[in-house]
Structure 1
Amino acid sequence: MPENGTISHTVNNQISTIEFFHPKGNSLPGKLLMELTQKIEEASLHPESRVIVIKSGGDGAFCAGASFDELLAISNLDEGKEFFMGFANVINAMRRSTKFIIARIHGKVVGGGVGIAASADFVFAHTSASVKLSELAVGLGPFVVGPAVGRKIGVGAFTSLSVDARSWYDASWALTNNLYSKVLDSLEEMDEAIAKLAGELAASNPQAMKELREIQWNGTGHWGPTLEQRAEISGRLVLSDFTREFIEEFKKK
C-alpha cells in the first residue's frame, strides 16, 4: 500500500464501505482527512447507497490519531488551524449525513480515532479495541473531538478519558460508557454482525432512517462554528515549545 496512505469507497448491495489506511498505525495526516471527508460526503449523496460502513485497513490499530510528523511541521496558526479542521470536517460530515453510519473498530483507538467512533451511529468493536484520548499528554487537548465524544459517552466519562491522557481504557469500559454498541471476540464474528445490520438497514425505509437520524442528532447544528473555534485553539497550542517537546518525546516511544 502507498506510503502516504489510501482511502477507498465502494458500494455493494446498497451499502457504502469507506476504508482508510496509513502504514503508521492508520494515523490521519491532513491529506487523508480531506479525502475521508470527501468520501463520507460522497457516500451520503450516493443514490444507490442507504447505509455507510467506516473501517480501517490492516489488523493493527484502528486509528492512531493525528500524524505527529505533520504536527511538528506546522509553522504558523493558519497551518495549525487548517490541520485540526481536517478532524472537524470529518466529524461534521458524519454528523450531517442522512444515512446511518456503522464503524468497524479493531485494535488501539487514539485521539481523532475516538472522535470517528463517537460520531458513528452504531459501533462494532473487537475485544482488543482499547481507547485513549492522549492529547493532554502531548500538550494539547481533545478540543475538536470533544463535542462528539462528550455527546456519546457523557461529561463524566469524557472527563475521565481526557484527563487521564496516558491510560488505555479497554473495550469493556467503552461498551459500558456507550462509545461502543457491541463488542465481539473475533474479527469474523464482527464482520458477520456488521454485514447483518448493514443489510437490514439497507432494506429499511430511507426516509424513516433520515428522519430518525435527524432526531438523534438534534441540537448539534452549532458544531460547524464550534469545531472551527476548537481547531483554532489546537492550532495555537501546537505551536508552543511545550507541546513540540512533548510530541518529540512521544515519537521516541
Structure 2
Amino acid sequence: MLHPVYFFKNNAIDPATQHLLVQHHDSFCGFVLFDPQQQQVHGWVLYELTAPLDETMLSQFTERQEWLRSSFRSVTIADYNAVNTLVPKPLFVPGSEKQLLEVVPGLHHNHILLEDATADVVNIFQVPAAAYTAFARLFPAAKWKHHETAVLQQLPTEEAKINMELWFHRMFLFAEQNGKWLLLQQRAYQTPEDVLYHVLNCKQQFGMRDEVMVTVTGMIEEQSALYKLLHQYILNLEPEQQLVYGFPPNTSDIPNHTKSSLDRILTCVS
C-alpha cells in the first residue's frame, strides 16, 4: 500500500488553472501544484519508492490522487537521478549524447537520454524507459528538466557556501564560491556519519574555512541524530528558512527548510 510521506492540497483551487511540477528519483516521486504568477504552492504529495516507477505504480498514484488527471496549464518533470553530465555549450555537438554519457558511472540500458540547458551548459541525463513512458502517457506535453540544471540557473554566491539537500537517504551537495559553482554532487548515505564525512571532505577539497556557511534543506528534523551530529562538528550550520513561494496556513507542521527544497526548484522552473 502506498502512503504519502507529505500531503496537503487546497481543495478550493481548481487544478486545471494551475501548473504541476513532478519530482522524479529512483527513491521518490512527488507532485507539486503551484501558481507561478502568484508564487503560491497549493498542493504537494510525496511518495517514497521501493521499486522503479512504471505505469502500474503511476496509476496507483492517480487512483488515490484523482486531481493528477487534470489538464494542467503546464507540467514540468524534474529528474533528480545521478547519471548525467554537464557539457559547456561551445563544446556540445548534437548527436554525441550517448558517447558523452558512456564515461559516467551508472549508465544503464533501457533508459532514455534527455537534455536541457542553461545559458552556459548542456545537461545530458538518462531516465528509466518505464518511467519515461508512464509519464509521457499521463502528461504528454510535459517538459523534462534535470535537478542540477535548476540549481545552475541560480547565481552562485561570492562568499564560500555549502548547501545540503536531503531526500530519503540521498544527499545532494552543492558548493559555491567566488561567483562560481564548485561542486554539484549526489550521494547515497546510511548513517549520520556518512553525511558529515561528505560535508567535511567538500570543505577540505576546496580549502574552505571552518566558519563556512553550511545550509541544510529537505528531509531532516532538528531533533534528529543527524542534525545534532552536524551541529556538533559544523560551526556555521543553518537550516534554510527563506521562501519565495507561499504555502497554505495548514502546512505549519512542515518546516521551512523542507519547503525550501521545493522553493528552490519552483523558482527555477517558473
Alignment TM class, shorter chain as reference: under 0.3
- Structure with the larger RCO, 1 or 2 (CA within 8 Å, 6+ apart): 1
Q: Which structure has the highest strand share of the two? A: 2
Q: TM-score when scaled to structure 1?
A: 0.26
Q: TM-score when scaled to structure 2?
A: 0.25
Q: Which structure has the highest helix share of the two? A: 1
Structure index of larger Rg = 2
